[in-house]
Structure 1
C-alpha cells in the first residue's frame, strides 16, 4: 500500500505537516511513502504545465491512501492547497484513492471544516472518503491526541478501503 500526505500550509515544515506525519504513523505504523509539502512546489502551482507539480500530482494520484492536511485559514482550507487540488482532473483525478481530510485550528469553532469544506473537494476529484475528517488543535499538532480515538474507530475502515485495488486506467 502506498501512503501519501499533502500539506497545504504556506509555511514549510509546519505543524500541519507534523500532524499529517503523526496521523499516518498512527494509521499505518510507518512514515508516508510520498510527501508533498505544496509550498515547496513554488510558483508552478499557480498555473499548469510545471513538471514538478505534475510529478507531485501523479505521485498523489498513484497513492492508495492520502492524508490531505491544511491549517484553518479564514474558516476554510488554504488557497495554496486549493491551487494544488485544482491540478487534478475533476471526477477522476483521485479515483481509487482513499482520502482523509485533516485540518488544524486554534479552537473548536471550525471543527466541522474538514467535512464541510475539504471533503467535498476531495470527493469531487474522485477520492473515496469513508471516514469523517479529523480536526485537531494546532497547539498539540505534534502529538495529535485527537487522533487516538479517531484511529481506533476509523483506522480499520480507512486501511481496508485503501487496500482495495484501484480500477485499471
Structure 2
C-alpha cells in the first residue's frame, strides 16, 4: 500500500503569521482537496515552515535549524512556496532559506509557487522569478504560478488553483 501524499508549505514573508502565510496555508488545503478529488490518498497535514521563524538562523554558521526545516519540506510530495512581492520578486528571506537547499532538493516533487502583491502590475513576477527558482531546485511546476492581489486575499484558494489550471484534466480526458 502506498503512503498518502504529503502537502507542505513554505512561507517567505519576514513577518510571522502574515497574510501571505494564511493564503499559503489555504492554497495548501486546496491542493489537498484537489488531490483527493482526483482519487489520491492525502495526509491531513504536512510540514509548514514560516521563514520568519528561521530568520535568526539563516546566516548562523553551523545552525541546523534551517537544514531540518528544509529536510521536512523536502519529504513533501507537493510544496506550496509563497512570498509577498518585494521589489517585483520574492523576498530575500525566502531566497536565503532556499539557498541553503542542496542541488536537486525538489527533484520528484511538485511545487506550487504563490506570490501575493498589492498591485496587479506584479502578476508576472511569479512566472519570471519564483517559478524558475523552484524549477532550478528540481521541482516540477506543471501549471501557472499563482498570483494573488492583496485585495483578493479572501478569494477561495480552490478557485485560485482552478483559474490557473492546476489539477485540471486535459481537454477530452475524464478525471
* TM class, shorter-length: 0.7 to 0.9
Distance 2:23 2:55 in 1: 22
- Which structure has the bigger radius of gyration? 2
Compare 42-51 and 109-118 and name the one that shifted more: 42-51
Q: Please state how far the C-alpha of 1:43 moved relative to its aligned partner.
A: 1.8
Give the whole-Å Cα distance in 1 for the aligned partners of 2:111 and 2:160. 18
Residue in 1 that maps onto 2:112 = 100
* Shift >4 Å, 4+ stretches: none
Unaligned runs of 5+ in 1: 158-169
CA RMSD across the alignment: 1.9
The answer to which structure has the higher helix fraction is 1
- Residue 114 (structure 1) aligned with residue 118 (structure 2): no
Q: Distance in 1 between matches of 2:120 and 2:16?
A: 25
Q: Normalising by structure 1, what TM-score? A: 0.84
Deviation at 1:32, TM superposition (A): 4.1
Where structure 2 has 5 or more consecutive residues not aligned to the other structure, the ranges are 34-42, 170-175
* C-alpha contact (below 8 Å) 2:78/2:109 kept by paired residues: yes
TM-score calculated relative to the size of structure 2: 0.81
The Cα shift of 1:137 comes to: 1.1
